[in-house]
Amino acid sequence: MTEIMNIIIELSDEIYFNLIKEERYMAFVKGLGLSLQLTLFAAVIGGIIGLFIALARLTHNKTLNYIATKYIDIIRGTPVVVQLLIIYFAVFSSTSLPRTTVASIAFGINSGAYVAELIRAGIQAVDKGQMEAARSLGLSYSQAMYYIIIPQAIKNILPGMGNEVITLWKETAIAGFIGLDDLMRAADVVRGRTFSNYTPYLVIAIIYFYITVLMTMMLGKLERRMRKSD
């Protein structure tokens, strides 16, 4: 009984010193907001880049195809943290863009390579007869892609896109490398003040876990609704 009481007291102290005292929980709240913001902006940027890169990969223009292929190879072949540091310290070092914007662009560029492959695979999964039928009806290639192929490909792409957003959400944990006060940085700051070895990181682990679960549930619900429309 005494051991249980000691554990409860120790846990209460950890919660008080790492969350309640001096309103340290606000560091985690602000970090959560920034991490979600980065994820949202990066997902939009990555989706736009991915669409254009996927179309470039599918085109018969050898130059565009080559550029798109090399972009994907370079992005997928280098760590995202290295890309973030290069884009921040080299590409945008002489600009006055906010760090949040630079980080969103960096994460979006990284995500775009993976999204491009998802979109390309989803489009290629659509029966080739769909394109032939559209062209025989007088639609141009771009019209056929916009009205016929891409709407059908979305159902093939959606699960992978959802997983990419979840991956992106967890990758934002490295944003602190360029001085952004994200969740990971919040844990570091709180740990520096309380000298707690594990509690701040346990807090952000729980936050990351539950946000990931929520995203997975939303994705599953969306997939079920799209299956009902079949």
Question: Could you read off the pLDDT of 116-175 as tens digits, one per residue?
Answer: 999 998 888 888 888 888 888 888 877 888 788 888 888 888 888 889 999 999 999 999
| Per-residue confidence (pLDDT) for residue 113, from 0 to 100 | 95
- CA separation for the pair 167, 189 (Å, rounded): 24
Average pLDDT over residues 164-192: 91
pLDDT at 90 over 70: yes
Q: Across 15-19, 113-117, 195-199, which has the greatest mean pLDDT?
A: 113-117
pLDDT (tens digit per residue) in 8-37:
666 676 776 677 777 888 989 999 999 999
Domain chopping of the chain, boundaries: 2-228
Q: Over the chain, what is the mean pLDDT?
A: 87
- We find that the CATH architecture of domain 2-228 is Orthogonal Bundle (1.10)
- CA separation for the pair 219, 149 (Å, rounded): 22
For residue 110, give every residue at least 6 positions away whose Cβ sits within 8 Å of its Cβ, in sequence order, or none: 42, 46, 75, 80, 83, 171
